[in-house]
Amino acid sequence: MKRIVVGLLVLAGCSEVGDAGGDVDAAAGMDAPARSCTVVEDLGALGARDGTAMASGAAGSRVLSVSMTVAADAATRDVVFVQLKGGRGAFAGGDPTPGTYAITGADAGYTTCGVCVTVIGDLVTGQGPTQFYSATGGTVTITQTAGALVGSLAEVTLQELDLLGETLVDGGCTTRVGGLSFDEALP
C-alpha cells in the first residue's frame, strides 16, 4: 500500500507540460525537468577584458592561453578561455602564430582544436564548472604571441559540452560571444 501512495504522490508532482514545453523525456510517460543553462544565450560584445595568460610546452607544441571572467556574482563566475595549441588544428605545423583563424574543421572540435575557445559556466571555487561550452564557429584574430598574448574574438558560437564523453550535448545549451579583445603578458 505504501508503494502505491508514494507512486501516486510522485505522479501528482509531475508536470503536465510535454515536449512542446521544452522538457526532455525521462521515461515513457514521465517528463524530466527543463534543461537549465548557466550562461546566457548571448554574452554580446564584451569589449577589452583583463585576464590571466599562461604558456607551456616545448617548441612545436607550445600552448598559449588566456582566461577572462565575463560574468560573476557572489558565488559563481563565467569565464571565456582561449587556448592556442601548437601541433593541432590551425597550428598543426608548429607553434601558435599571429593570424586570423576561422573556427571550422578541426578547430571546431573540442578534442582536435588548435584555436580553442571555451566558456566555463558557473565556475565555483573549489568545485569547478557547472557547465562547459565549446566553440562551433566564429573568428579568432591573434596579433601577438611573443611576450604577450594579444588578440580578439568575433561572432564566436558555442555549444554545451559533455566533458566526460568530450562530445557536444545534443540539444544542449548554447551561447555566443559577439566580440572580445585581450592583451596579456605571457609568463
Degrees, nearest 5: CA angle 109-136-160: 90
Amino acid at 129: P
Distance in angstroms (rounded) separating the CA atoms of residues 31 and 153:
39
Q: What is the mean pLDDT of residues 16-40?
A: 54
Q: Which residues of 143-168 are buried (b: 16+ CB within 10 A; e: fewer)?
A: eebeebbbbbbeebbbbbbeeeeeeb
**pLDDT tens digits for 59-107?**
989 999 999 999 887 778 899 999 999 999 999 999 999 999 999 999 9
Q: What distance in Å separates the CA atoms of residue 162 and residue 164, rounded to the nearest whole number?
A: 6
Which among 105, 110, 113 has a CA at the least distance from the CA of 89?
113
Phi, psi of 89 (to 5 degrees): 50, -130
Secondary structure class of 35 (helix, strand, coil): coil
What's the pTM value of the predicted model, to 2 decimals? Answer: 0.79
Greater confidence (73 vs 55) lies with 55
Distance of alpha carbon 178 from alpha carbon 4, whole angstroms: 53
Take residue 74 and report the three cell numbers written for it.
557572489
* Mean pLDDT of the 19-48 span: 67
Amino acid (one-letter) located at 114: G
